[in-house]
Amino acid sequence: MRGERRLLCIGEYLVARACRRLPAGTREERCREWTAELPAILRDPDTRLAARRAARMLRYAADTIRVTALAPGGARRLMAHMASIAARFIISGLVVYLWIRPNTLLDWLYVGIGFCIGSLTLFASGFAYRRWRGKGLGDQLTEALEARTRTRREAFVARAFAGPAISMAGRTAGTFPRHKLGPGYRAAEVDELIARIEATLSGHARPDQAITATDVQAAKFKVTQHGGYDEQAVDPALDHYADALARLAPFPSSTAAGD
Amino acid sequence: MTAPLERVLRAFLEDPAAPRYGYDLMKAAGMKSGTLYPMLGRLEDDRLVTSAWETPQQDGQRPRKYYRLTGEGIRVARLELAQVSASRPRALGRPVRPARGSLV
């Protein structure tokens, strides 16, 4: 694809910008991961149009910046970054204003020009400093801020979200919707089967408890006329369980499941 | 469970043994990178997903990082999705599965 090199350069620049805002521990790895995805997106065989592939790649790269805002301390880092940009504009504007003390329209024009030149100079010198020293002037301050936020955030997260990303609460027996009136599966039998499946899946089953996918598929329950489990909730769940059991043995050897 | 998480888990479960790249998952789940990566990070922290680097190829391509559900991850994802589909209102007139045959 023509201009691929240049497009990749833009993408890599965006990713590098995003990574600069990540905490130091994960920065290196994330940066490598994202940069490696870029050429893969550009050469994605599923997307026919080259322009669309390019747009996807750039959107991917640009959106990684959003990730960094969600990383611990990222929001504060972003704010510090914005503040440093705003500070440059304000400083150059203030200096030029105090220097010229505009009265006439022409003076104001000069202030405008001076403001543009001044901010450009400040940005250029900041950029040059970063190239020269390898880091920016405010980096240390941002690092310190980030470290403080991280400890605070970690404590908060530990308190508020102590538990897995998916809550496992109420995932075991006894949670299926019941039919008050009308036929349903007898709850005790379903619960017992689910308990056996759970035990098998977690690897703590006694020999007489262990169950296979075929057993689950062939399972039958007695019908009760009130208070039984809704069969339309139980059946799909059992299908998923059977599927999980069927895959239990070969996992994690990927060769068996791969072909 | 949020809708994006559900889509990611479904994408993973299409073939639990296959290695999935970040971009693959983005396409399969219709998500942006800014949403997907934090989610993968959280799943990884909970040990539901593992990641590994490709072995470097000869053609000078950078190795990519791929993600895969762990054994525990597969189990949890299946149960979660089963629960979600069970709690969703079903289309009317769907026949009761004859295989289990207790209710007619």
pLDDT digits (tens, 9 = 90+) for B7-44: 999 899 888 888 899 998 998 998 888 888 888 888 88
Among A36, A184, A254, beta carbon nearest to B62: A36
Q: What ipTM is given for this predicted complex?
A: 0.78
Name residues 208-227 of chain A within 8 A of B (Cβ).
Answer: 217-223
What is the average per-residue pLDDT within B68-79? Answer: 88
How far is it, in rounded angstroms, from Cα A252 to Cα B70?
8
Write out chain B residues lying below 8 Å of A233, CB-based. Answer: 86-87
Residues A47 and A55 sit within 8 Å (Cβ to Cβ):
no
Question: What local confidence, expressed as pLDDT, does residue A230 receive?
Answer: 78
With an 8 Å Cβ cutoff, are B17 and A258 in contact?
yes
Residues A39 and A8 sit within 8 Å (Cβ to Cβ):
yes
Number of A–B residue contacts, CB under 8 Å:
144
With an 8 Å Cβ cutoff, are A183 and B18 in contact?
no
Q: State the 10-residue block means of pLDDT for chain A, 259 residues long.
A: 83 87 77 90 87 91 77 66 88 92 91 93 89 77 71 55 40 63 80 80 74 82 80 78 72 38
How far is it, in rounded angstroms, from Cα A139 to Cα A254?
45
CB neighbour class for A206 (10 Å; exposed up to 12, middle 13-18, buried from 19)? exposed
In angstroms, the separation between the Cα of residue A60 and the nearest Cα of chain B is 6
With an 8 Å Cβ cutoff, are B83 and A46 in contact?
no
With an 8 Å Cβ cutoff, are B16 and A233 in contact?
no
Among A34, A44, A240, beta carbon nearest to B78: A240
With an 8 Å Cβ cutoff, are B76 and A168 in contact?
yes
In angstroms, the separation between the Cα of residue A173 and the nearest Cα of chain B is 12
Residue B90 in this model has a pLDDT that exceeds 80:
no
Residues B40 and B49 sit within 8 Å (Cβ to Cβ):
yes
Question: What local confidence, expressed as pLDDT, does residue A97 receive?
Answer: 92
* B93: confidence class by pLDDT, cuts 50, 70, 90: very low
Residue A136 region by backbone torsions, left for phi larger than 0, else alpha for psi between -120 and 50, else beta: beta
Q: Please name the residue that has the structure tokens 């693959």.
A: B24
Question: What local confidence, expressed as pLDDT, does residue A91 receive?
Answer: 92
* B101: confidence class by pLDDT, cuts 50, 70, 90: very low
Q: Does B52 touch chain A (CB under 8 A)?
A: no
Among A164, A165, A220, beta carbon nearest to B101: A220
How far is it, in rounded angstroms, from Cα A130 to Cα A124?
10
- H, E, C per residue of A134-152: CCCCCHHHHHHHHHHHHHH
Nearest residue in B to A35, CA atom = B62
Question: What local confidence, expressed as pLDDT, does residue A255 receive?
Answer: 38
Return the SS3 of A252.
coil
**Most A-contacting residue of B75, B94, B104 (CB-CB within 10 A), to test interface:** B75
In angstroms, the separation between the Cα of residue B77 and the nearest Cα of chain A is 9
Task: Output the six-digit token pair for B50.
Answer: 């593992």
In angstroms, the separation between the Cα of residue A33 and the nearest Cα of chain B is 6
With an 8 Å Cβ cutoff, are A223 and B102 in contact?
yes
Write out chain A residues lying below 8 Å of B73, CB-based. Answer: none
CA end-to-end distance (rounded Å), chain A: 33
With an 8 Å Cβ cutoff, are B101 and A235 in contact?
no
Name residues 9-48 of chain A within 8 A of B (Cβ).
Answer: 29-30, 32-37, 39-41, 44, 46
Among B23, B46, B62, beta carbon nearest to A165: B46
